[in-house]
């Protein structure tokens, strides 16, 4: 290497306190370049992080190096190595094949005429072009500093973009527990990006269950609701099992003082709102002292996250209340029959088991489960003398009994609620038969709504397995044999086959929810 590759003397500075490092890849076929570059930047520090160097001596080695260290901040890339354009090939490989648009590429050359600067800047996605002879220690310091600032800003923008994507995705279905976790995860990502800290963040709360909104003054009983970095996949665990003693002490202090506690390079923010007091936000890796603007942002964030979380809890409480009302009203209808117990509840869980095995999406299976208790709501229109007659119904009585399907459909059909609409379909179709001999419309095969087909299997299986005013309970074997004999006539054959493979799980449902004496 030419002896005129010189660096100006730099004043000695006290070594900073480091918090991580920036990866720098040096790609050059001259070992002296590697040594001198590392020496010139040995005391470099940016945002409390020093530099970590990795070396490659050819374009081929450089490709492998960047594949391994995809999170490199800067690559100092020689143009001429094993070929006259080896460095340019590497630059194109990084951008076009690896699609790495984050790393800052600084092209260095000892032969500027070999790769003219104007042509290279126009044709290749590089960030700087320097002649080796002009890179004194001061200029190298300057180019590294400016490149790291660019890299930092690019990462910050990208973190913000990814956080916004999560928030936007979650906003479509914010009031389901999964989307709420995704929403808070995205907001945590936004906050860590805005504060310029690392990816370790944590939100813990006193309650993960709807309807369990209360104050909790014991931080040891808090549980993880969402986490990033080292706290990822810790959801549901007790905070005392996740954090070390020092962090737990900060959590105790934040909860006692109901404020934000700042310590060294992390903070613990107490989250409060109108309804509850018991959530804490932890963010680590703060690069500098948090200014007043950032403190205000954290304060607003901690309040808004708690309010959003409580809105989800309240929404779940409303949904649970609606479902319980459906169960209670359905059981009230069933109470007119002297032999009833937990029939509607068992039918609901059997429907879910059959629906998921049949291939319905989980949300459809859940809708069917919550709506199925309404399958016999039309019995409110049937006289007690017919409904509870302990012997075979006369023909005219049977015709009256059959009207309960249509009555149930008429009661429910005009609702704008998805569960009630599904209940109307089930009430109408659950007595239709696969061969067309059912009622009220004589539908056959797949003309019968899948909800009705599934509810029919669940309803009959449970009815046969339990006492009725006109019969004693059947054994599981006898019930299954009857269902098989009716496959293709009364029932969808595919559903009967599914029933046979799930009979153990269905019997477990019957055991869990027995009829009350």
Contact yes or no for 402/439 (Cβ under 8 A): yes
Give the model's pLDDT for residue 209. 32
Q: Tell me whether residue 196 is in a domain.
A: yes
The answer as to whether 187 is a domain residue is: yes
- Say if residue 344's pLDDT is above 80: yes
- CA distance linking residue 239 with residue 248, whole number of Å: 8
Residue 347, phi then psi, degrees to nearest 5: -60, -40
Report yes or no on 92 lying in a domain.
Answer: yes
Residue 430 has pLDDT above 90, yes or no: yes
Q: Looking at the DSSP assignment, which residues form a beta bridge with residue 131?
A: 109
Count the neighbouring beta carbons within 10 Å of the beta carbon of residue 65.
Answer: 18
Q: What is the mean pLDDT of the chain?
A: 81
Residues 346 and 444 in one domain: yes
Distance CA 184, CA 301 (A): 11
- pLDDT-derived band at 312 (thresholds 50, 70, 90) equals low
Evaluate if residue 13 carries a pLDDT over 80. Answer: no
Helix (H) / strand (E) containing 458: helix 450-464
Is 91 a member of any domain?
yes
Least confident among 63-72, 336-345, 426-435: 336-345
Q: Residue 274: give the domain boundaries.
A: 173-314
* Residue 124 tokens, joined: 């290749």
Identify the band that residue 14 occupies on the pLDDT scale cut at 50, 70 and 90.
Answer: very low
Q: What is the pLDDT of residue 101?
A: 92
Among the three residues 121, 154, 187, which one is the final residue of a domain in this structure?
154
Looking at residue 441, its pLDDT comes to: 93
175: pLDDT strictly greater than 70: no
pLDDT digits (tens, 9 = 90+) for 58-107: 999 999 999 999 999 999 999 989 998 899 999 999 999 999 999 999 99
More confident residue, 307 or 181: 307
Query: What is the rounded distance in angstroms from the CA atom of residue 361 to the CA atom of residue 263?
Result: 47
| CB-CB contact of 103 with 151 (8 Å) | yes
Per-residue burial over 477-501, b = 16 or more CB atoms within 10 Å of its CB, e = otherwise: eebbeebeebbeebbbeebbebbee
Q: Are residues 380 and 492 in the same domain?
A: yes
Q: What is the pLDDT of residues 282-299, one digit of tens each?
A: 777 776 667 676 677 677
Average pLDDT score over residue span 248-270: 82
Q: Verify that 113 and 192 share a domain, yes or no.
A: no
Dihedral Cα 27, 31, 34, 36, nearest 10 deg: -150
Domain boundary among 258, 279, 314: 314
Token representation of residue 335: 């109470």
Tell me, yes or no, whether 11 lies in a domain: no
Same domain, 339 and 250: no
Output the six-digit token pair for 419.
Answer: 């569960």
Catalytic residue among 166, 379, 433, 443: 379
Tell me 376's DSSP state.
T
- What does the pLDDT read at residue 11? 39
pLDDT at 326: 75
| Alpha helix (H) residue ranges in 335-434 | 343-358, 362-371, 384-387, 395-412, 418-429
Inside any domain, residue 329: no
Separation CA 12–CA 17 (nearest Å)? 15
Residue 147 pLDDT grade (very low, low, confident, very high; cuts 50, 70, 90): very high
**Within a domain: 78:** yes
| Residue indicated by tokens 């930092």 | 152
For residues 209, 213, 217, 220, the Cα torsion angle rounded to the nearest 10 degrees is 0
- pLDDT value at residue 198: 63
Which of 314, 348, 365 marks a domain boundary? 314
22 has a pLDDT exceeding 60: yes
- Number of domains forming the structure of the chain: 3
Cβ proximity of 223 and 237 under 8 Å: yes
The candidate with the shortest Cα–Cα distance to 499, out of 375, 362, 350, 296, is: 350
Q: What percent of the chain has pLDDT over 90?
A: 41
pLDDT at residue 480, as a whole number: 95
pLDDT at 8 over 50: no
- Is residue 9 a part of any domain in this protein? no
The reported pLDDT for the residue numbered 451 is 96
What pLDDT is stored for residue 354 in this prediction?
Answer: 96
CATH for 454: 1.10.3210.10
- Give the strand order in the sheet containing 223-228: 223-228, 201-205, 277-284, 266-272, 260-263
* Same domain (yes/no): 292, 376: no
The lowest-confidence range among 46-55, 56-65, 118-127 is 118-127
Q: What is the largest CA-CA distance in the chain?
A: 113
pLDDT tens, residue by residue, 179-235: 556 666 666 666 676 666 666 777 776 543 333 334 444 555 678 877 777 888 887
pLDDT (average), residues 117-122 = 80
Please tell me whether residues 199 and 277 are part of one structural domain: yes
Rg of the Cα atoms in the chain:
35
Examine the domain organization and report whether 428 and 368 are in the same domain. Answer: yes
Instruction: Say whether both 300 and 412 belong to one domain.
Output: no
Q: Write the CATH number for 65.
A: 3.40.50.2300
Ranges 117-131, 134-148, 316-330, 429-443: which has the least confidence: 316-330
CATH, residue 249: 3.30.450.40
- Give the integer Cα–Cα distance in Å for 308 and 175: 9
Q: Are 275 and 352 in a shared domain? A: no
Residues 188 and 270 in one domain: yes
Residue 351 sits in the same domain as residue 500: yes
Q: Rounded distance, CA 168 to CA 299, Å?
A: 22
- Residues in contact with 290: Cβ distance below 8 Å, sequence separation at least 6, in sequence order: 195, 262, 267, 298
Known catalytic residue at 433: no
Among 322, 358, 326, 360, CA closest to 345: 326
> Do 255 and 369 belong together in one domain?
no
pTM over 0.75: no
């Amino acid at each position: 290497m030419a002896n005129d590759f010189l660096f100006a003397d730099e004043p000695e500075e006290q070594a900073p306190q480091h918090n991580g490092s920036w990866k720098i890849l040096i790609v050059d076929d001259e070992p002296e370049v590697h040594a001198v570059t590392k020496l010139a930047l040995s005391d470099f520090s940016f945002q409390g992080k020093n530099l970590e160097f990795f070396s490659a001596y050819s374009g081929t080695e450089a490709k492998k190096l960047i594949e391994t260290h995809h999170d490199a901040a800067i690559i100092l890339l020689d143009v001429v190595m094993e070929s006259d354009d080896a460095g340019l090939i590497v630059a194109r490989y990084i951008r076009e094949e690896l699609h790495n648009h984050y790393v800052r590429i600084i092209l260095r050359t000892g032969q500027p005429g070999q790769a003219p600067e104007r042509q290279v800047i126009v044709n290749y996605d590089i960030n700087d072009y320097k002649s080796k002879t002009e890179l004194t220690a001061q200029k190298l310091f300057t180019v590294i500093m400016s490149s790291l600032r660019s890299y930092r800003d690019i990462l910050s923008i990208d973190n913000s973009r990814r956080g916004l994507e999560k928030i936007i995705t979650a906003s479509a279905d914010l009031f389901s527990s999964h989307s709420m976790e995704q929403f808070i995860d995205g907001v945590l990502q936004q906050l860590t990006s805005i504060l310029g800290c690392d990816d370790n963040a944590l939100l813990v709360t006193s309650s993960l269950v709807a309807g369990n909104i209360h104050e909790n003054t014991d931080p040891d009983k808090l549980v993880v609701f969402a986490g990033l970095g080292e706290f990822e996949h810790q959801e549901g665990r007790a905070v005392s099992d996740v954090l070390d003693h020092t962090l737990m002490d900060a959590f105790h202090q934040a909860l006692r003082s109901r404020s934000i506690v700042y310590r060294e390079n992390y903070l613990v923010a107490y989250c409060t709102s109108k309804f509850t007091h018991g959530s804490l936000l932890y963010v680590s890796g703060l690069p500098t002292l948090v200014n007043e603007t950032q403190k205000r942002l954290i304060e607003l964030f901690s309040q808004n996250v708690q309010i959003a979380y409580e809105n989800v809890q309240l929404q779940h409480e409303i949904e649970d209340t609606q479902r319980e009302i459906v169960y209670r009203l359905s059981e009230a209808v069933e109470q007119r029959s002297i032999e009833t117990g937990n029939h509607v509840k068992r039918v609901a869980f059997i429907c879910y088991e059959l629906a998921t095995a049949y291939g319905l999406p989980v949300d459809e299976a859940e809708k069917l489960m919550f709506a199925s208790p309404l399958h016999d709501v039309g019995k409110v229109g049937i006289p007690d003398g017919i409904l509870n007659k302990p012997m075979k119904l006369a023909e005219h009585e049977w015709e009256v009994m059959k009207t309960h399907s249509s009555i149930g459909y008429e009661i429910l059909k005009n609702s704008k609620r998805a569960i009630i609409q599904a209940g109307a379909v089930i009430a109408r179709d659950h007595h239709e038969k696969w061969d067309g001999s059912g009622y009220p419309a004589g539908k056959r095969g797949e003309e019968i709504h899948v909800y009705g087909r599934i509810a029919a299997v669940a309803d009959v299986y449970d009815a046969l397995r339990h006492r009725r005013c006109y019969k004693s309970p059947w054994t599981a074997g006898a019930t299954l044999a009857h269902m098989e004999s009716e496959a293709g006539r009364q029932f969808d054959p595919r559903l009967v086959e599914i029933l046979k493979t799930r009979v153990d799980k269905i019997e477990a449902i019957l055991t869990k929810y027995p009829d009350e004496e």
